[in-house]
Amino acid sequence: MNKLAFLTMDVESYFDTSCLKNTDIDRDQKYNCAEEVLTYAKFLSKNDIKGTFFVTVDFIKYCKDYLLEAISLGHEIALHCLTHQSYKNFSKEEFKKEIVESKKIIKEELGVEPVGFRFPRWEYKKELLDVLKEEGFIYDSSVIKPNKSFKKEFGYIYIKNGLYEFAPNIWKFPFKTVLLSGGGFYRFLKGKSMSRVLRKHIKKHDTFMIYFHPFEIHKGYLPVPKRGILQVQKKYLTKNRDVYLDSIQKMIEVLKENGYLFSNMKEYVYSKEK
Ligand SMILES: [Zn+2]
């Protein structure tokens, strides 16, 4: 079987970024970075890649037209839940209500039915995965380091109770796990060190997933808190955003050189279930 790469975006506002919570920055919606959804959709299409967009439903009002264009370009719309909050304290019933509501709005606004899900902030809860299955989802993509209750399928893809799980690629240290799949990683380690680590990883594994957020490819100014956040968080918000898409472009070339094909998650599951 060919090696496979999945390019995804978590569609959410710049203001949904965890380290901006409870800070007093300028929350003018002109800084929400919604337009970068379209930037990325076009970037993927230029590379002849069909991506997966995990959409936070309360952000659709700012990026509806961009998402519709992404759909017309053939990209997949998946769900990043109703609002960008932690669902860790939700009961199954409460979570189900959010899912039903989310699906209804996505159907009305975008005309599609998502079959994939990613929890905001990678904060998943076991019991809630069952709700996804009950509500017709065929995959989830939220579990970092799936435990033994998940059956390994291929590369970083697992199955549990009939639900596929696309885990992010990681780099394990004794006391720390680095998410190689995105977030700030490429932006922090630009250049040689990045390519060394990643090239090795890509050679060794069969699947690779990339995820990031609209603000991370925004080239212009964004408000950053002056106080109350760590230096590393400040860097996460600002570092190398202007060249991030170039880094992703390089990654795509490296993946191709190593024999990877590109798929979106929905198509992968459908191909297995045929
Ligand atoms: Zn998110």
- Give me ligand 1 centre to Cα 56, in Å: 8
Query: Over the stretch 16-27, which tens digit does the pLDDT of each residue have?
Result: 999 998 898 999
Query: Over the stretch 106-149, which tens digit does the pLDDT of each residue have?
Result: 999 999 999 999 999 999 989 999 999 999 999 999 999 999 99
**CATH of 3-273 given 3.40.50.300, 3.20.20.370, 3.30.1340.10, 1.10.3720.10:** 3.20.20.370
Nearest to 79 by CA among 128, 43, 35: 128
Query: Over the stretch 176-186, which tens digit does the pLDDT of each residue have?
Result: 888 888 867 77
The residues spanned by each domain of the chain are 3-273
Q: What is the mean pLDDT of residues 246-265?
A: 93
Q: Which residue has the tokens 């990654």?
A: 251
Q: What is the mean pLDDT of residues 65-74?
A: 98
- Give me ligand 1 centre to Cα 1, in Å: 31
Contact 215, 241 (CB under 8 A): yes
Query: Over the stretch 184-220, which tens digit does the pLDDT of each residue have?
Result: 777 776 655 666 778 889 999 999 999 999 999 999 9
- φ, ψ of residue 157 to 5 degrees: the values are -100, 135
- Give me ligand 1 centre to Cα 147, in Å: 22
Task: State the pLDDT at residue 189.
Answer: 67
- Give me ligand 1 centre to Cα 141, in Å: 11
- Give me ligand 1 centre to Cα 213, in Å: 7
The pair of three-digit structure tokens given for residue 100, joined into one six-digit string: 């039903």
Beta bridge partners of 211: 8, 182
Q: Which residue has the tokens 């998946």?
A: 78
H/E stretch holding 52: strand 52-55
Q: What is the pTM of this model?
A: 0.96
